[in-house]
Amino acid sequence: MKDLKISKKKPSFPITKQLHEYLGEYNRNIRISIDYSDLLRFQGSITVYDKDDNDTLWIRVYYSDSDRAEIDLSLKKVYTKLHSDGNENTIPFLNVDAVDYCTFGNSKPFRIKIRNILNDNITYFYVKKADASRLYGLELEHMLSPYNLNFVVCKDTLIEEHIAGIPGDEFIKKMLPKCTLPEQSQIAKEFVKFNERCMIRLLGDMRSYNYVIVPTHDFDQVIYSIRATDFDQQSFEGKFNVYRPQFFKENRTMVELVASRFQKESIDQYKIEERSIVARRMIGFNDRIDALLDCMINDTISTPENISLLKSKIYDHTFDLKFKYSDNMGDILKSALEFVKRNYEDLNPKDF
C-alpha cells in the first residue's frame, strides 16, 4: 500500500460570528472562568509513561501554588458544566488528579483527570484551543454517526468529553490477532462502514491512532464498534483518499482483514447500509445540518488549491456537476450529503 501523505501542519481557523451563533442556538456555548491559555502557565512537567514504560507523548504538568488553587477550582466548575447543569454543590467531592499536556499533533490538548473522592470514579475531559475545522467535525460526528458527542465552547476554548475505547493501533497490534473468526468478521464489517462514513462526511486522517475500537458485551458475544477521536482534519485536504481510511498504511491490517473475510458483494452491501443510515440521520437533523452547512459555506476552512483539487477528484468519481461548480469546502460537503440523500431515495443508487 502506497503511503498516503497529508499536510504536515493544518492551520487553525478562527470561529466566525455565524458559527458562534449556531453553537449558541444548540447549547454548545457556555461561560467559564478559565481558557486554554491559562493552562499554558505551568511551571514544569514530567513525562507520562504507559504500563509498559513507553513514552505516551504526554507530559504531566504542574503549576505554582498561587495558580494551582484557582486552576483546580475552575476545572472542577468546567466539569460540572460539561457533565451536569453547572450545579457547584458537588465541587467539594471532586479532585483534579492530573493535568496532562500533549505537544504531538495540531491541537496540543490538555487532558484533565477528575476523580470523585466519594467513590474513586475517574472521568477525563480535554481542553483545546478552538478551531473551526474541529468544531464542524464534532458537530457532523454528533449528527451523522451513531454516537452523540458532548462538547462545549467558550470564545476560543474548546472543552471535549473523553471518548472511551482502545486506540486503533494498539487494538490492531495486541488484540485483533486474539479475536475469533466471527469477531474478526464483525470488526471487518465495522471498518467498511467506518470507512464509508468518513468518506461521505469528508473526515480526514483516520489513521489507526485517530480512532478507537469499543468492545461491548452482548449476551454471549462481544460487539465491536469504531469511533473517530480526532476531528482536526474535517474538510481541509484536497486529496480525496485522505478521507478514506482504507488508504492509510497504518490501516493495512484492517484492509487485509476485510479482503480476507468478505467478497465484493458483501462490502457493497455494508456500504449501502451505511449510506442509508447516514441519509436517515440527515433527514432527522435536517434543519440543524442545513444551519451548520450554511456556516461552512460562508466560512474559510481550507485553501483554494485544496478546494480545486478535491472537487475535481469527487467529480471524477460521481460525474455530478454540483461538485464541479462548488466554491468552497462547505459547498463540496453539501453536495456530497445531497448526493447520498438522493441515492437513498433512488431505486437505482449510484456509487459515490
The pLDDT tens digits for 290-307 are: 999 999 999 999 999 999
Domain boundary among 161, 192, 208: 161
Question: Whose CA is closest to 318, among 340, 351, 348?
Answer: 351
What would the mean pLDDT of 36-64 be, rounded to a whole number? 93
- Radius of gyration, alpha carbons of the chain: 21
pLDDT digits (tens, 9 = 90+) for 218-249: 888 899 999 999 999 999 999 999 999 999 99
Structural domain harbouring 73: 17-161
Say whether both 146 and 197 belong to one domain.
no
Total domains in the chain come to 2
Read out DSSP for 73-115?
HHHHHHHHHHHSS--GGGGGGEEEEEEEEE-SSSS--EEEEEE
Q: Is 217 exposed, middle or buried (0-12, 13-18, 19+ CB in 10 A)?
A: exposed
Query: What is the spatial distance between Cα 73 and Cα 91, in angstroms, rounded to a whole number?
Result: 8
Residue 71 three-state SS: helix
Helix (H, G, I), strand (E, B) or coil at 216: strand
Is residue 314 within 8 A of residue 336, CB to CB? The reply is yes
Q: Is residue 71 part of a domain?
A: yes
Rounded CA separation 215/212 (Å): 10
pLDDT surpassing 90 at residue 120: yes
pLDDT confidence band for 51 (50 / 70 / 90): confident
Mean of the per-residue pLDDT values of the chain: 93
> Of 110, 126, 161, which residue constitutes the final position of a domain?
161
Are both 148 and 192 inside the same structural domain?
no
Cell of 150: 458532548
- Please check whether residue 306 lies inside any domain of the structure: yes
Q: Are residues 146 and 207 in the same domain?
A: no
pLDDT at residue 142, rounded to an integer: 97
**Which residue among 143, 161, 179 closes a domain?**
161
184, 331: one domain: yes
pTM comes to 0.93
In one letter, which amino acid is 249?
Answer: K
